[in-house]
């Protein structure tokens, strides 16, 4: 029988541990973790993500602040807000929701966040620590950190001898995911839109991680029998079966086709998605403990 990996349950355990740690911090140091989430513009999907991040932060007992800025915000205004949050001792974590409107330089904004408050793990200091195998003093990007917990549920902490494939090479996911798998001793391949024979490469993967952003692209004949499949895609597609004009969420993996071939597979929704938000809370509580000394 194929194991359908339950990301909601795994996320709930992380959140329970975060809540307990936040309570302990309040008792011992007299302060709560503080998370600031910044969103620029009107993208409805981004607003939905940001609202759930702010809500979860409150549920964890954090100080939670949300800054909603208009589409026309200038680079200087956004950087000034980041500078203010950097200097605020009540704020331990700063998340600037991506993508930013096109006129803004995302990279400059991200690099202006203090590395110790960069709960997205995107600052070069944090990315560099991960790349050099320092998993103890930096902050790791939330979605790969969460996906890695799901991989460990199936395979344990040591992936020696296993072939892992990450499809996707973004700074937010593909690159850090590959680094985490490598740190766990997997033999890692990174594939992307310019790779040749993706299906062939995929068929040799014991752990197949898909983050391409193309609905149900990974088909049954891409999956090695008995593999673990981690689906990082979130794609909204028409769902006429639910009624006229209705949508549904699907991953980058064709679940119905691939589930019978895999030994373990994460669904969409309910797989990696809930882990991302849980790991954001975990990163914030870690940053708060470090700030408290
Ligand atoms: N947009 C989609 N996912 C993320 C994320 O993990 N962090 C940020 N900042 N923006 C995102």
Q: What is the rounded average pLDDT of the residues 276-289? A: 98
Asked if the model's pLDDT at residue 72 lies above 90, the reply is yes
Domain 29-116: which CATH number of 3.10.20.90, 3.10.200.10, 3.40.1030.10, 3.40.50.10860: 3.40.50.10860
With cut-offs at 50, 70 and 90, classify the pLDDT of residue 264: very high
Write out pLDDT tens, residues 111-136: 999 999 999 999 999 999 999 999 99
Q: Whose CA is nearest to atom 9 of ligand 1?
A: 97
Cα–Cα dist 130/123, whole Å: 11
Is 97 touching ligand 1 by the criterion CB < 6 Å?
Answer: yes
Q: For the chain, where are the E strands, in sequence order?
A: 3-4, 34-40, 63-69, 93-96, 163-167, 187-191, 207-210, 228-231, 235-238, 247-250, 264-265
**Structure confidence at residue 9 (pLDDT):** 98
Q: What is the rounded average pLDDT of the residues 249-272? A: 98
Asked if the model's pLDDT at residue 293 lies above 90, the reply is no
Question: For the chain, where do the domains classified as CATH 3.40.50.10860 start and end?
Answer: 29-116
Write out pLDDT tens, residues 79-107: 999 999 999 999 999 999 999 999 999 99
Q: What is the rounded average pLDDT of the residues 238-255? A: 95
* Ligand 1 centroid, distance to 97 Cα (angstroms): 5
- Homologous superfamily of the 142-274 domain (CATH): NAD(P)-binding Rossmann-like Domain (3.40.50.720)
**Structure confidence at residue 76 (pLDDT):** 98
The two structure tokens encoding residue 52 = 């759930």
The ligand 1 atom nearest the CA atom of 96: 9
- Describe the crossing of helices 44-59 and 272-292 by its angle, rounded to 10 degrees: 50
Confidence check on the interface: ipTM exceeds 0.85, yes or no: yes
**Structure confidence at residue 236 (pLDDT):** 94
Cα–Cα dist 160/171, whole Å: 25
Neighbours of 241 (CB within 10 A): 7
Show the CA angle centred on residue 245, arms to residues 44 and 267, nearest 5°: 70
pTM above 0.90, yes or no: yes
42 part of the active site? no
Residue with tokens 């680094």, as numbered in its chain: 179
8 part of the active site? no
Asked if the model's pLDDT at residue 33 lies above 90, the reply is yes
Is 283 touching ligand 1 by the criterion CB < 6 Å?
Answer: no
Question: For the chain, where do the domains classified as CATH 3.40.50.720 start and end?
Answer: 142-274
Residue to probe by mutation, ligand 1, list 120, 144, 272, 279, most atoms within 8 Å of CB: 120
Pick the catalytic residue from 92, 117, 118, 120. 120
Is 231 touching ligand 1 by the criterion CB < 6 Å?
Answer: no
Is 95 touching ligand 1 by the criterion CB < 6 Å?
Answer: yes
């Amino acid at each position: 029988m194929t194991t359908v990996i339950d990301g909601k349950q795994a996320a709930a355990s992380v959140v329970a541990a975060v809540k307990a740690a936040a309570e302990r911090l309040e008792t011992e140091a007299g302060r709560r973790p503080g998370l600031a989430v910044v969103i620029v513009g009107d993208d409805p999907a981004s607003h939905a993500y940001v609202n759930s991040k702010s809500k979860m932060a409150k549920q964890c007992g954090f100080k939670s602040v949300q800054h909603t800025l208009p589409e026309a915000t200038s680079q200087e205004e956004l950087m000034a807000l980041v500078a203010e949050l950097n200097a605020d001792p009540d704020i331990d974590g700063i998340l600037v929701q991506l993508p930013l409107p096109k006129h803004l330089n995302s990279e400059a904004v991200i690099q202006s966040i203090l590395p110790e408050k960069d709960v997205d793990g995107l600052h070069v200091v944090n990315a560099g620590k991960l790349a050099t195998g320092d998993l103890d003093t930096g902050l790791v990007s939330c979605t790969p950190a969460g996906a890695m917990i799901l991989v460990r549920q199936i395979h344990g902490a040591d992936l020696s001898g296993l072939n892992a494939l990450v499809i996707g090479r973004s700074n937010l996911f593909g690159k850090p995911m590959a680094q985490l798998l490598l740190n766990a001793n997997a033999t890692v391949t990174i594939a992307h839109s310019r790779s040749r024979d993706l299906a062939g490469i995929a068929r040799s993967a014991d752990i197949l991680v898909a983050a391409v952003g193309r609905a149900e692209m990974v088909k049954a004949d891409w999956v090695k029998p008995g593999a673990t499949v981690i689906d990082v895609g979130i794609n909204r597609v028409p769902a006429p079966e639910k009624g006229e004009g209705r949508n549904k969420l699907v991953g980058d993996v064709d679940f119905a086709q691939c589930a019978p071939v895999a030994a373990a597979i994460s669904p969409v929704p309910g797989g990696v998605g809930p882990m991302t938000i849980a790991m954001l809370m975990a990163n914030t509580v870690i940053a708060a403990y470090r700030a408290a000394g």
